[in-house]
Chain A
Amino acid sequence: KNQVEQSPQSLIILEGKNCTLQCNYTVSPFSNLRWYKQDTGRGPVSLTIMTFSENTKSNGRYTATLDADTKQSSLHITASQLSDSASYICVVSPHQGSSYKLIFGSGTRLLVRP
């Protein structure tokens, strides 16, 4: 079983609409939880980083939430744009001893249509 599970696997929305992507994880303890955006043919780019004590973090139209009790996180995208079409990946950084060994989910593929 994957330590980081994401849903849905893929999502299609119309330009201008909002969407929410989900992430469940079993990694414990953990140092921080990150959301990355990966365009096709590119490397992942960090959107947000949250420590276990943070509940929410925003970066422009992206807002991430974290519930450390239920081990769930979400990424909310508001007023979607065509350029938001990409894979969004939930990544957990384990406890400090090996926090560099990032654990990646498989991602949610988002397609924004005009």
Chain B
Amino acid sequence: NAGVMQNPRHLVRRRGQEARLRCSPMKGHSHVYWYRQLPEEGLKFMVYLQKENIIDESGMPKERFSAEFPKEGPSILRIQQVVRGDSAAYFCASSDSRGWAGEQYFGPGTRLTVT
């Protein structure tokens, strides 16, 4: 049973480019969470999605960042016009049908470097 998959594991973008981070939840999981970890800091909640719905995006910057979890395919975290401050590790987690009451299982993360 594969765990949460994220790709790419490492992503390098120049300032102004777009970054697309993908997350495939564990089999049977329909709830996805994105977290950001800046260097030397703890993970910070960004957004909570269910299939085709954004449940809570209160932790996500209002501009340049968007997230989706389509009916088919992985969840995508999209960062437009990246800046150096976007350099961080982005982790995705998933949980089962119990949603917020279920355990969150984390993927290995995508390390984004903006040059």
Contacts and interface: CB of A to CB of B under 8 A. Distances in A.
Given A100-B33, A100-B56, A101-B56, A4 B91 contact: no
Interface stretch (A14-22, A38-46, A62-70, A74-82): A38-46
A106 B56 contact: no
A105 B41 CA distance: 8
A96 B104 CA distance: 15
A12 interface: no
Interface size class of A (residues with CB under 8 A): 20 to 34
A53 interface: no
Interface residues of B, number: 26
A33 interface: no
Contacts of A101: 45, 48, 56, 58-59
B100 A105 contact: no
Interface of B: 4, 31, 33, 35, 40-45, 48, 56, 58-59, 91, 93, 95, 99-101, 103-104, 106-109
Interface of A: 2, 4, 41-46, 49, 89, 96, 98-107
